[in-house]
A = this chain, B = another copy of it.
Amino acid sequence: MASDNENPIRIGLLGIGTVGSETARLLIEDCEELSARVGRAIELVGVACRNPDDVDFPWLDHGLLTTDTEALCRRADIVVELFGGLEPARTMVTLAMESGASVVTANKALLATYGPELYRTAAAHGVDLYFEAAVGGAIPIVHPLRESLAGDRVEWMLGIVNGTTNYILDQMTTEGLDFDVALKQAQEQGYAEADPTGDIEGEDAANKAAIMATLAFHTNVVLRDVTAEGITSITAEDIEAATAEHKVIKLLAVMENDESGVSARVYPALIDERHPLASVHGSFNAIFIHARAAGDLMFYGRGAGGAPTASAVVGDVVTEARHIAQGCTGPSIPMYLDLPKAPLDAAKAAFAVRFVIHDKPGVLAAIAREFSDHGISINGVNQDLTPTRHDPGYSGELQQLRLVTHQCDEQTLRTTVKAVQGLDFVTGTPSVLRVLA
């Protein structure tokens, strides 16, 4: 293999936060070993950041720091974008590709929002766009979908791709905590951010769902195609009921490709405790894939954190540097299909619905009639004498009624739940959770 140490492959790094600093450290400290793996020298030639004076790492030559992101994008062979967010990331990544640089990014929001535009820019300029770290942190998922499963048809995928919500749900399950308490604990222990909205409302997972659906189904799926529900309405009672049925509640990204079209959704769901995803605990992530020939596959690992995410970023840098050394960068993401998006009401599911009711004769009959009138058949009912702790007007006469439906479409379910809410003995906000078969 040709060694060309006089002319190393130049790497420009944008951002020096948690992931950026770990990435820089690996590129500097392991430079020789990584170069050997590439077959040609690689070199970190600059690190763009807002305030170089605030950056102080013993292993980082201060002279590498720059505020001139544009100039760095123009002189690098590989630009590693770790700014996060939409701007200036979008502008800089585009500039880099237009200048002939390949791009490695961990920026899920950027890809989920502007993916189709960025893939086109990469193809137009004969450069690569790699993003293993954007989904599932250290878990290899992009390469398996792009290469290993390139000869198969992915039919559906389920992902636990947000560590914050998985940690919170896990704590609620094992410690019996309420959502608010579990969130506060997660914040104290660094598993949730001060503003946790993007995680707990499902947007972070929705970004990842768009990227995974795009890769798995060879068609463009962006954030606005993804419906997302978070976990803020999950209560300790929901968890208790799940545990009693040998199920666990997980926030899932669900990507499907069937006759009704392609869909990507994020929602909390009940899954059987024996399902491989049920044993994914704490801040770990996992992605479960069902492909026509391969059958069931699962990938498991650390979905976030400086070092794990940097591992995926540097893996992409080495892969891309090999392409440059071999002279074969170029169009490698053929989104060759233009598949329809499945209409929202095409998704059928079983649901677990919990109402808080004033206990009096005829309540169950009235609720059952609403479901029957809307054409939804009921699989099981559980009327629990334990009153909900959450009803402020609790006077000793409130009960919970929990129904599990057979498969029905979501729109009809929502309409039915609304009708039941209109009954005079129903109070509070009902809880609605999908049940995975």
A-to-B contact residues, CB < 8 Å: 1, 22, 26, 30, 33-34, 36-37, 39, 123, 132, 138-140, 142-144, 147-153, 218, 276, 279, 291-302, 305, 307-308, 310-319, 322-323, 326-328, 330-332, 334, 336-337
Contacts and interface: CB of A to CB of B under 8 A. Distances in A.
A22 B293 contact: yes
B140 A319 contact: no
A311 B293 contact: yes
Contacts of A332: 322, 326
A313 B151 CA distance: 8
Given A143-B140, A143-B148, A298 B300 contact: yes
B140 A311 contact: no
A330 B48 CA distance: 34
A310 to B, nearest CB: 6
A331 B144 contact: no
Given A143-B143, A144-B148, 17 more contacts: A1-B123, A26-B151, A33-B153, A36-B337, A138-B293, A140-B143, A149-B311, A150-B318, A151-B318, A276-B279, A292-B311, A293-B308, A294-B308, A294-B311, A294-B312, A295-B301, A298-B298
Contacts of A138: 291, 293-295, 297
Given A36-B334, A39-B334, A300 B323 contact: no
B37 A315 contact: no
A37 B298 contact: no
Nearest to A144: B140
Most buried by B among A26, A144, A294, A334: A294
Contact of A301 (B153, B296, B336): B296
A68 to B, nearest CB: 26
Most buried by B among A132, A138, A153, A291: A138
B334 A330 contact: no
B330 A326 contact: yes
B328 A307 contact: no
Contact of A291 (B311, B316, B331): B311
Nearest to A130: B147
27 contacts: A1-B123, A36-B334, A39-B331, A138-B294, A140-B297, A144-B144, A147-B315, A147-B319, A150-B314, A150-B315, A150-B318, A151-B311, A151-B312, A151-B318, A152-B315, A292-B307, A292-B311, A294-B307, A295-B301, A295-B307, A295-B308, A296-B301, A297-B301, A299-B299, A300-B300, A323-B328, A326-B328
Contacts of A305: 295
B296 A302 contact: yes
B313 A34 contact: no
A280 to B, nearest CB: 9
- 5 nearest A-B residue pairs (beta carbon): A151-B314, A328-B328, A140-B148, A138-B294, A150-B318
Nearest to A323: B328
A297 B297 contact: no
Contacts of A337: 36
Contact of A315 (B140, B148, B307): B148
B26 A293 contact: yes
Nearest to A280: B276
A367 to B, nearest CB: 39
Contacts of A123: 1
Contact of A334 (B37, B132, B153, B292): B37
Contacts of A330: 326
A300 B311 CA distance: 20
Most buried by B among A22, A152, A292: A152
A22 B26 CA distance: 42
Given A295-B138, A297-B301, A312 B148 contact: yes
Contact of A143 (B144, B152, B328): B144
A152 B299 CA distance: 18
A437 B246 CA distance: 29
Contacts of A22: 293
Contacts of A39: 331, 334, 336
Contacts of A139: 297
